Amino acid sequence: MAIKVGDTLPAATFMTSTAEGPAPISTDDIFKGKTVALFAVPGAFTPTCSAKHLPGFKEKADELKAKGVDSIVCVSVNDVFVMKAWGKDQGIDGEVLLIADGNGDFTKAIGLDFDGSKFGMGARSQRYSLVAKDGVVTQLHVEDAGQFKVSSAEYLLEQL
């Protein structure tokens, strides 16, 4: 069953890229005591993710923060090295924290995984955005397959 508004995000450990190299980062590190805009993409370097999803959150970072968001986080079922390369390719410089859910454990735990095997992608995350306050989901916007509307930075801004 998929996570819903009012649920607490499950404990998980992700990987992120730091100046010292790959490092684990927990849900507590990300969400505890903060208002976080989290969005998920099916894959780094995929067309919609690279042309619209991540760039939209980078572009709207200041507006989101002005509406009370402490941090903006992008999660994908990719490895930390892919996420680092994607961040570099997209010119991400602190506006968005990129985290890798390499095995998809978090994605499965919140019930927003899908099987992309017919596209050669294996297990992946559905496209969504959410807002969590101290780890509790206050907004959740899950896209229908093949769509990009309700998970965008613009849509999230309208909801805040």
What string of DSSP letters covers 130-150?
EEEETTEEEEEEEPPTT--ST
Say which of 25, 37, 49, 132 is annotated catalytic.
49
> How close are the terminal C-alpha atoms of the chain, in Å?
26
Q: Strand 35-41 and strand 71-76: pairing?
A: parallel
What pLDDT digit, counting tens, does each position of 78-121 carry? 999 999 999 999 999 989 999 999 999 999 999 999 888 888 78
The set of residues, in sequence order, having a beta carbon less than 8 Å from that of 160 and lying 6+ positions away, is 64, 67, 68, 69, 131
Does residue 49 carry a catalytic annotation? yes
pTM of the model: 0.95
Regions in the chain scoring below 70 on pLDDT: none
Domains of the chain: 13-159 (3.40.30.10)
pLDDT at 27: 97
